[in-house]
Amino acid sequence: MRKNRIISLVLALLVSSPFSLFADEGMWLLPLLEKMNIKDMQKAGLKLSAKQIYDINNSSLKDAIMIFGGGCTAEVVSNQGLVFTNHHCGYSSIQKLSSTEHDYLRDGFWAMNLKEELPAQGLTVTFIDRFIDVTDVMLSAQEQVKDMKEAEQEQVMRQVRDSLTKNAVGDNKYLNARVVSFYQGNVFYVVVSKTFRDIRFVGAPPSSIGKFGGETDNWEWPRHTGDFSVFRIYADKNNNPADYSPDNVPYTPKKFLSISLKGYQPGDFTMVIGFPGSTDRYLTSQEVVQRRDVQNTPRIIARTAKENVWRAAMRADQKINIQYASKFASSSNYRKNSIGMNETFAKLNTVVRRKEEERAFKEWASSTAEREAKYGKCIDVINELTEKQSKPYTAVNYYMETLNNVELARVASSFLRIREGNKAEAFKKASESFYKDYSPELDRQTSKVLLKTFKQYVTEPSYQPAFYKTIEEKFGGDIDKYVDNIFDNSVFTSPEKAIAAISQEDFNAQSDPIVEYIMQFSTSVLPIMTEMRKDEQELAEAKKTYMKGLMEMRGKAPIYPDANFTMRLTYGKVGGYKPKDAVTYDYITTLEGVMQKENPNDPEFVVPSKLKELYNAKDYGRYALKDGRMPVCFLSNNDITGGNSGSDVLNAKGELIGLAFDGNWEAMSGDIIFEPNLQRCINVDIRYVLFIIDKFGGATWLLNEMDIKS
């Protein structure tokens, strides 16, 4: 049967090859656990069956895990829909609810009953209902349309996908479905899900706990960050998803996680179920070069320049600090990630190692005429097309990181997308949240820096928008004057000015200077992107062929697909590591380390007075270690990446022992190549989470609805 052929296809690994995997490497698909992983997991210490983890007919662990917002993971921890995730995952929602009068980022927040919980506007959570294997249908359809024109191909394949998703959902209006590609288009599943739209903010520690260490400690170990926040899912009276209503009630989940206070020791089994966003573990050598030079480097340069402006303004003004807190956190997180990745590429000789892997694959492919015909050219095609795209792709990345980050252009673009109806009313609704978190003067300063950065690093005249010529001819080459002209004369710098102008019948958007900027920016970038897309299909086919060859080459051991923000499981164990000669990192940190790092003159290392009081009194309750210390964070070697933030860290019984929130600096190339001796998952200990809720926040009532195992 087709399903068995797929299983045999993906059960693959040539043990002697340079692609060898390790027990703690891999982001595994839950429907394939029974076939691929469960025996190894049980040998490693797991006390559960595959069906207790993933079962479409009965409640299982997968029913307690959800997508949180647009890019994180969360878990249900009570029968009343209480949700744990990271502080940095809830950060955007907390920021939106904050003001100078109620700064929940700075001060924290704890609801003391259901009525005090705050609606988190726009926040959703999504549960996975099931995976349905549709590989046979999709590959058959692709074969049928391969000789059609591109537009016809897209139309037919869209109809196939629509049919598959419609059949998966049936008449259930609360379910959604999408067709998802795995293994570079060699395997397909329909992923069926259910999204809840009434989510309320229950509590979070102040940023001095939830973001303790800030940018300095980001991606670093030892870590002492209480990175958690608490929300609750609400549903209608029938327990179904519904828009916000005061009549909604706490959601009763199919499954919620029990919490263990027993802790862990080095070598103990750990398991993480979550939604890793993106990995590229099967890149060729030239694709690694592209990631380093074409993607990471522009991001580092542009965001460093932008964040320097933002940081100074945020530290000088509380209102701006609240407005830009979430934006800054997101920007700096990926900038530092890119820096670490490039450094690790160099330290670990990643490009050279990829070339060695390519050589091994080519030798395998050339061993028979049949393999040579199927797989002999795919690596060369990938590398050649990737190198060909290098120059225009670099320019596009600078476009996106600089010129596309003029905030004023974004809000003006939202107006240009309004086609009919009352444009003033539509714009007011669409732009309300934007202006709440917008400083036109800071945007003016930032835009000057961004336009200068683009011109400095993209010197090809054909890649530069026409406004650079205008700057030379009308503004004497002074970028500052050009930007000042835009901000002095655009109606979009405030909602009042914009709505007043839009309400006039004779309003001509084309005459606004920021609209002219948008048009010239689009005119210059679109042809480059169009040119690059010409190679996309050939590149995709080559990558699909390479992946299929790898699966065939590896024989009978499991191989996992790259992360694509679908539910995955990773398993490993608790343990420290040795980052370099004569340095050994322990597997756990304690509250004592928080006090050692305290610096009242550095906003990243301020310690709240109440936390110091609890520390001095050693008032840790039932959450302390046996030796009396208060645990804060711990390490495991679970294979995670962005999107796993907020994920459950489970023990061998499937009980919650922590929340995953970061990776470590020494393995920042982990999205490309897994380093078993170095790669670690940084987790906040669930005992510290409960200690902060209970002893620090005084929200003990929340613990009463949890299943806590002592």
Round to whole Å and give the CA distance between 210 and 204. Answer: 8
Q: Which residues of 116-155 are buried (b: 16+ CB within 10 A; e: fewer)?
A: ebbbbeebbbbbbbbbbbbbebbeebbeebeeeeeeebee
Phi, psi of 249 (to 5 degrees): -125, 160
Q: 66 has which bridge partners? A: 74, 127
CA distances from 386 to 285, 379, 526, 639 (A): 10, 11, 19, 27
Using alpha carbons, list the distances in angstroms from residue 376 to 544, 549, 705. Answer: 13, 10, 60
Q: Give catalytic residue positions.
A: 88, 227, 645
Task: Report residue 558 as tokens.
Answer: 């499991």
Instruction: For the chain, state the CA radius of gyration.
Output: 26
CB 509 within 8 A of CB 370: no
E-state strands within 46-163: 65-68, 72-76, 82-85, 109-110, 118-119, 125-133
Length of the chain counted residue by residue: 710
Q: How many degrees, rounded to 5, is the angle at CA 294 between CA 288 and CA 295?
A: 85
Distance from the Cα of residue 27 to its chain's centroid: 15
Alpha carbon distances (Å) from 460 to 306, 404, 666:
23, 18, 36
Whether cis (ω within 30° of 0) applies to the bond prior to 527 is no
What is the DSSP pairing of strand 269-274 with strand 648-650? antiparallel
**Side-chain-facing half-sphere of 136: CA atoms under 13 Å:** 9
How far is it, in rounded angstroms, from Cα 542 to Cα 383? Answer: 10
Indicate the burial class of 369 (C-beta count within 10 angstroms; 0-12, 13-18, 19 or more).
Answer: exposed
Q: How far apart are CA 648 and CA 670, in angstroms?
A: 20
Locate tokens 């995730």: which residue? 85
SS3 per residue for 495-554: HHHHHHHHCCCCCCHHHCHHHHHHHHHHHHHHHHHHHHHCCHHHHHHHHHHHHHHHHHHC
Give every CB contact of residue 207 below 8 A, 6+ residues apart in sequence: 87, 105, 106, 108
In the numeric block, the tokens 């991001």 are attached to 299
Which value, to the nearest 10 degrees, does the dihedral of the CA atoms of residues 500, 501, 504, 505 take? -150
